């Protein structure tokens, strides 16, 4: 079978189930393409030999009732994988091999999928361009020297370049949706509490959420139904009725009420983005949905709030990387000296910056003015959405304020980098589900995404809206395989 | 008036100083597993054999609250007559140390699980109420071992994550004796409840001691120093004594006291500065985002209330009212649950007054001598009960009973059998006693005559002689009666 790697997940599953394709053939095809694509630097750790062996084993006794029968895939290197090095994109975990498996990846293997390797990401998922990774930049397959977004940059690059049919990322402030938008792929951040955080290297515990990334909405829905589960090992996991999202997927969104928040028309937003949003509104109208103008008045406080809450939690979550128990250790004169050297050498600049911000906002004398106030504003932001959802079923916004930028373009300007998350962070702060779908190209031919934000636990509605829009948009990613010699 | 007599004051030439003490007691929750993980909590296990991935803070590991520990904390709160907070919050207390794998301790800062309560102390001058400010749940840290290697520190994480209750008192204590009584009472309550074994040698109970002094009669508190982690009552008392005198000396010299954290050096019997207020850690407390606020329902609390056994104060009241014990006797018998259980088992089938005397007197003395706990007593409650009945029904005299008791201490023998085997049964047959008495009177005719002529004091002599001749087995009451008639 030719062009195996061009097949979507749904096609691969169907072909394997119909025995037109073996797991070994599929795995071999994706491994070969991954090997030819080293220039993208999408992988941190490759596990191809094991993957091929597992595929062979699967084919000997194929269980075709599984949802991901013998499907090869690579995952973001923030998920702990048993016996496979897990780095979180950091030097400090460069040599760390977990003895345990994250719940989300375990759910995936339970449905028959096969691990090919671990994908590059910003260090501890802190970044919007994958440039903070200890393991180097990732190339966006759209164009040379273009960032793939971040922090799930290896994931978005690998899916867009078809090195893996699907993948999973994590999203704390936009880390799934923004890279999906930059690479012309689909990325879903589920409701907080939908996917277990057990075994995911923590960045900001109250915001982190794993989610699927794919080439189309249907694949995304299927992967979401695999990874979402109630997990007693995560106290913030929520026990709610989870759909079989792919089976209940429908393009019939007639009568759905879609909110357009006026506060998302930010100053200096490129006209291209404005136009894309308008086009998006036309698409949903075409599908029979109703457009309603809404207000989310506290939107402008979302970014500063996020950049207090997330670093505060991170500063505490990353305290465990101290050179004592596992991971990188620099020798020191005494305990304090060892801590300082280990953490100075083990963490990159952006991680250190956020640890310092987080430590500062939690310090006595500043706590009330920053952290406590941020928590109050967070509540107001959530209330904004609660109000809006009395009138609408979902909300449509751009995913990002621009298309992908060049590697190095914003590396020395953290604030401009942070502005990338302006449309995505409110969703994390409110704990809601959000999906980014490719919706067009800018003048340079780079993909642009639209975001659909849903009610808590209502992944089905935003998947349906995305599914209906996807057909109307009929987006084609323009990838030339420029990196393959 | 008697209160003043026992007042603990530090005297200097012109001034008298009162000592003000507050305690933060760390009590290890009795639980098979840790506060947020399923690892075991057994004392004395090989280093690092009771450590889960959560306890060692591996990446991506998350805490899950142990419901049993929550129940234990609430029960303790009920035992302290305290307010149970239906909503409490776990916070992170951030600091770096090698035996703190997470880089933070999960504790409760603003919203503890238990609020204000009280503990009643029985002091010689009367009862004293000590107010409890709060009780909260928190994780213990691991243990750093510095003396196994000249260059390296070893870390044992067995204790890491073990559940502790921090019980904070108001500054209501005024003397080392009150601290002694307070710790003992707290321990007694928790042992009744089964929420903490109170074993200070194993570190299950230790305290931070806050000490300040002020001139007698002053209403304002002085600057306090906190003496960290003292692990025996004796050391607490010594530390308070040293620290209070140190502070008084400073004041007398016209110096001020720095608010600081101090350590008690048990070898030198002195406290030493550990860090000043300026160097105090900024713990950057904030709610742990890995844990939701802890919410318990009224039903949950009511169910626990129904599981609370009779506590020392109530038991004491009952012992006094029902068994007519003196407050002194009741205090001793209720001080720990094992003693009161033993007592209640003994009196199920025997006389209360005799049982009380025998337990507080002979038994405690014998156990003390052998360095045994009541639970290790060689004499079972059942056999002590039998012994008391043998005394009560006149089978043996009190004196013989002591001999029997001594033999019982050598192994839990049935007193009935000892009496039979050794022929210690009391002689209560009037005819047999008459024969004996006649012989004694005959042998001492001259004294009998003196008695008859009015020297009544000699009656005791005759009783003694009869007892001697009988080998101590004659029933003293009958001997009295018959002697009176015969003489």
Domains of chain B: 2-305 (no CATH), 310-422 (no CATH), 430-486 (1.10.10.410)
Q: For residue range A5-60, what is the model confidence (pLDDT) as tens digits?
A: 999 999 999 999 999 999 999 999 999 999 999 999 999 999 999 999 999 999 99
User: Which positions in chain A touch B60 (Cβ < 8 Å)?
Assistant: 80, 98, 102, 197-202
**Contact (CB<8Å) A235/B59:** no
What pLDDT, on a 0 to 100 scale, did the predictor assign at position A243?
96
Q: How confident is the model at residue A135 (pLDDT cuts 50, 70, 90)?
A: very high
Side-chain-side CA neighbours of B309 within 13 Å: the count stands at 16
Residues on chain B touching A198 (C-beta within 8 angstroms): 60-62
pLDDT tens string B196-233: 999 999 999 999 999 999 999 999 999 999 999 999 99
Question: Is A235 within 8 Å of B64 when comparing Cβ atoms?
Answer: yes
Q: Where are the domains of chain A?
A: 7-260+274-296+384-473
Considering only residues 346 to 405 of chain B, which have any Cβ-Cβ distance to chain A shorter than 8 Å?
A: none
Alpha carbons A436 and B8: distance in angstroms, whole number = 73
- Strand segments, DSSP code E, in B97-156 are 104-107, 117-123, 126-139, 143-145, 154-156
* A288, A289, A292, A293 alpha-carbon torsion, rounded to 10°: -100
Summarised one tens digit per residue, pLDDT across range B351-398 is 999 999 999 999 999 999 999 999 999 999 999 999 999 999 888 888
* Cα–Cα distance for residue pair A26/A111, rounded to 1 Å: 16
| Angstrom distance (rounded) from CA B456 to CA B461 | 10
Q: What percent of chain A has pLDDT over 70?
A: 100
In this model, does residue B426 exceed pLDDT 80? no
**Is B59 within 8 Å of chain A by CB?**
yes
Whether B49 contacts chain A with CB within 8 A: no
Q: Would you state the pLDDT for residue B277? A: 77
Distance CA A273, CA A133 (A): 28
Rounded to two decimals, what is the model's pTM?
A: 0.92
Residue partners of B374: CB distance under 8 A and separation at least 6: B336, B338, B339, B342, B367
- Yes or no: is domain A7-260+274-296+384-473 CATH 3.10.20.30? no
Alpha helices in B160-224 (DSSP H): 176-193
Chain A CB contacts of B94 under 8 Å are 315-316, 319, 362
Q: Which two tokens stand for residue A371?
A: 């952290």
Buried b (16+ CB within 10 A) or exposed e, B111-120: bbbbbebebe
Degrees, nearest 5: CA angle B68-B73-B77: 145
Among A104, A317, A341, A361, most B C-beta atoms within 10 A, so best to mutate, is A317
A308/A313 Cα distance (integer angstroms): 9
Q: Which of A88, A233, A316 sits opposite B104 (nearest CB)?
A: A316
Question: Mind telling me the catalytic residues of A?
Answer: 76, 151, 175
Chain B residue with the nearest C-alpha to that of A338: B98
Band (B462; pLDDT cuts 50, 70, 90): confident
Contact A316 B61 (CB under 8 A): no
Residue B420 has pLDDT above 90, yes or no: no
Least confident of A125-139, A341-355, B261-275, B461-475: B461-475
pLDDT at B2 (0 to 100) = 36
Residue B94: pLDDT band by 50, 70, 90 thresholds? very high
Band (pLDDT 50/70/90 cuts) for residue B481 is: confident
CB contact under 8 A, A80 and B292: no
ipTM of model: 0.97
Type and span of the H or E element at B24? strand B16-28
Which residue among B64, B92, B94 sits closest to A233, beta carbon to beta carbon? Answer: B64
Looking at residue B4, its pLDDT comes to 52
Please tell me the distance in Å from A401's CA to the nearest CA on chain B.
30
pLDDT of residue A2: 57
Instruction: Please judge whether A236 and B292 are an interchain contact, meaning their C-beta atoms are less than 8 angstroms apart.
Output: yes
Cβ atoms of residues A207 and A173 within 8 Å: yes
Q: Please, are residues B51 and B157 in contact by the beta-carbon 8 Å criterion?
A: yes
B101 vs A199, A316, A320: nearest CB: A320
CA A44 to chain centre: 17
Contact B58 A88 (CB under 8 A): no
List CB contacts of A401: < 8 A, sequence separation 6 or more. A266, A269, A270, A273, A419, A420, A422, A423
Distances (CA, A) of A12 to A25, A43, A75: 11, 22, 18
What is the layout of strands, in order, in the sheet containing B286-287?
Answer: B104-107, B91-94, B286-287
Of residues B455 and A329, the one with the higher pLDDT is: A329
- Cross-chain CB nearest to B102 (options A319, A363, A364): A319
When pLDDT is cut at 50, 70 and 90, the band that residue A413 belongs to is confident
CA nearest to A78 within chain B: B60
Q: Is the dihedral of CA B441, B444, B450, B453 positive or negative?
A: positive
A301: left (phi over 0), alpha (psi -120 to 50) or beta: alpha
- The mean per-residue pLDDT over the stretch B118-147 comes to 95
- Select the residue of A205, A232, A319 nearest B290 (Cβ to Cβ): A205
H or E stretch covering A58: helix A48-60
CA dihedral defined by B33, B37, B39, B42, rounded to 10 degrees?
Answer: -40
Give percent of chain B with pLDDT exceeding 70: 99
| pLDDT tens profile A170-221 | 999 999 999 999 999 999 999 999 999 999 999 999 999 999 999 999 999 9
Residues contacting A403, CB < 8 A, separation 6+: A182, A272, A441, A442, A444, A446, A447, A448
């Amino acid at each position: 079978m030719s062009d195996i790697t061009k097949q979507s997940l749904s096609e691969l599953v169907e072909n394997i189930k119909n025995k037109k394709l073996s797991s070994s053939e599929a795995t071999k095809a994706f491994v070969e393409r991954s090997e030819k694509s080293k220039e993208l630097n999408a992988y941190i750790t490759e596990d191809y030999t094991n993957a091929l062996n597992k595929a062979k084993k699967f084919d000997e006794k194929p269980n075709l009732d599984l949802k991901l029968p013998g499907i090869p895939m690579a995952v973001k290197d923030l998920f702990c994988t048993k016996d496979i090095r897990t780095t979180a994109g950091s030097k400090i975990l460069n040599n760390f091999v977990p003895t345990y498996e994250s719940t989300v990846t375990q759910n995936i293997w339970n449905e028959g999928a096969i691990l090919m390797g671990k994908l590059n990401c910003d260090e501890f998922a802190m970044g919007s361009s994958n440039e903070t990774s200890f393991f180097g930049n990732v190339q966006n397959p759209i164009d040379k020297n273009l960032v793939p977004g971040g922090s799930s940059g290896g994931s978005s690059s690998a899916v867009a370049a078809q090195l893996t049919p699907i993948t999973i990322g994590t999203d704390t402030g936009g880390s799934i949706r923004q890279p999906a938008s930059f690479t012309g792929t689909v990325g879903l951040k589920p409701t907080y509490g939908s996917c277990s955080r057990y075994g995911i290297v923590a960045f900001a515990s109250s915001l982190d959420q794993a989610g699927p990334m794919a080439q189309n909405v249907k694949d995304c829905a299927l992967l979401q139904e695999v990874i979402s589960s109630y997990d007693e090992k995560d106290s913030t996991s929520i026990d709610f009725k989870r759909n079989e999202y792919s089976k209940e997927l429908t393009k019939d969104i007639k009568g759905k009420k879609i909110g357009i928040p006026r506060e998302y028309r930010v100053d200096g937003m490129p006209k291209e983005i404005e136009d894309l949003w308008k086009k998006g509104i036309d698409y949903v109208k075409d599908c029979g949905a109703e457009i309603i103008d809404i207000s989310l008045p506290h939107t402008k406080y979302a970014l500063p709030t996020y950049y207090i809450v997330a670093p505060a939690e991170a500063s505490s979550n990353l305290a465990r990387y101290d050179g004592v128990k596992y991971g990188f250790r620099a020798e020191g004169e005494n305990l304090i000296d060892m801590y300082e050297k280990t953490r100075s050498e083990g963490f990159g600049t952006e991680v250190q910056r956020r640890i310092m911000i987080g430590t500062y906002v939690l310090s006595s004398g500043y706590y009330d003015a920053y952290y406590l106030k941020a928590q109050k504003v967070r509540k107001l932001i959530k209330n904004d959405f609660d109000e809006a959802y009395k009138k609408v079923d979902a909300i449509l916004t751009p995913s990002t304020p621009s298309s992908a930028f060049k590697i190095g373009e914003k590396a020395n300007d953290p604030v401009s980098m942070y502005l990338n998350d302006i449309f995505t962070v409110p969703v994390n702060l409110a704990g809601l589900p959000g999906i980014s779908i490719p919706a067009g190209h800018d003048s340079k031919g780079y993909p642009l995404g639209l975001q659909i934000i849903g009610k808590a636990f209502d992944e089905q509605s935003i998947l349906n809206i995305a599914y209906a829009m996807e057909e109307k948009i009929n987006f084609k990613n323009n990838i030339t395989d420029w990196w393959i010699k | 008036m008697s209160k003043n007599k026992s007042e603990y004051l530090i005297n200097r030439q012109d001034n008298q100083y009162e000592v003000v003490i507050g305690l933060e007691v760390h009590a290890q929750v009795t639980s098979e597993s840790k506060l947020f993980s399923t690892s075991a909590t057994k004392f004395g296990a090989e280093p690092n054999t009771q450590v889960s991935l959560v306890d060692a803070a591996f990446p991506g590991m998350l805490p899950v609250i142990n419901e049993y520990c929550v129940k234990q904390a609430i029960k303790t709160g009920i035992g302290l007559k305290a307010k149970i907070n239906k909503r409490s919050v776990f916070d992170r207390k951030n600091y770096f140390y090698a035996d703190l794998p997470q880089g933070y301790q999960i504790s409760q800062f603003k919203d503890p699980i238990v609020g204000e309560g009280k503990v009643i102390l029985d002091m010689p001058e009367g009862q004293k109420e000590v107010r409890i400010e709060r009780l909260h749940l928190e994780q213990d840290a691991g243990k750093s071992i510095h003396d196994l290697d000249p260059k390296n520190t070893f870390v044992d994480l067995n204790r890491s994550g073990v559940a502790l209750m921090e019980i904070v008192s108001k500054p209501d204590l005024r003397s080392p004796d009150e601290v002694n009584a307070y710790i003992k009472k707290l321990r007694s309550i928790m042992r009744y409840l089964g929420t903490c074994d109170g074993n200070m040698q194993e570190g299950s109970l230790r305290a931070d001691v806050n000490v300040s002094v002020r001139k007698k009669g002053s209403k304002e508190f002085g600057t306090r120093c906190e003496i960290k982690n003292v692990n025996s009552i004796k050391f607490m008392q010594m530390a308070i004594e040293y620290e209070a005198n140190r502070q008084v000396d400073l004041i007398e010299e016209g110096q001020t006291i720095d608010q600081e954290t101090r350590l008690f050096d048990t070898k030198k019997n002195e406290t030493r500065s550990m860090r000043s207020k300026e160097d105090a850690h900024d713990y950057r407390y904030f709610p742990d985002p890995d844990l939701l606020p802890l919410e318990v329902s009224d039903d949950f609390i009511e169910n626990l209330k129904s599981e609370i056994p009779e506590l020392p104060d109530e038991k004491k009241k009952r012992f006094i009212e029902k068994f007519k014990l003196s407050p002194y006797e009741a205090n001793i018998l209720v001080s720990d649950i094992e003693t009161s259980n033993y007592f209640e088992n003994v009196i199920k089938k025997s006389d209360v007054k005799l049982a009380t005397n025998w337990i507080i007197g002979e038994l405690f003395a014998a156990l003390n001598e052998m360095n045994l706990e009541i639970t290790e007593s060689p004499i079972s409650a059942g056999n002590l009960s039998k012994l008391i009945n043998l005394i009560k029904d006149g089978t043996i005299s009190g004196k013989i009973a002591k001999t029997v008791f001594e033999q019982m201490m050598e192994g839990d023998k049935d007193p009935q059998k000892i009496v039979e085997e050794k022929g210690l049964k009391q002689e209560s047959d009037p005819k047999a006693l008459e024969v004996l008495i006649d012989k004694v009177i005959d042998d001492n005719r001259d004294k009998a005559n003196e008695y008859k002529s009015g020297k009544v004091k000699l009656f005791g002599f005759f009783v003694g002689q009869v007892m001697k001749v009988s080998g101590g087995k004659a029933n003293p009451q009958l001997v009295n009666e018959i002697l009176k008639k015969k003489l």
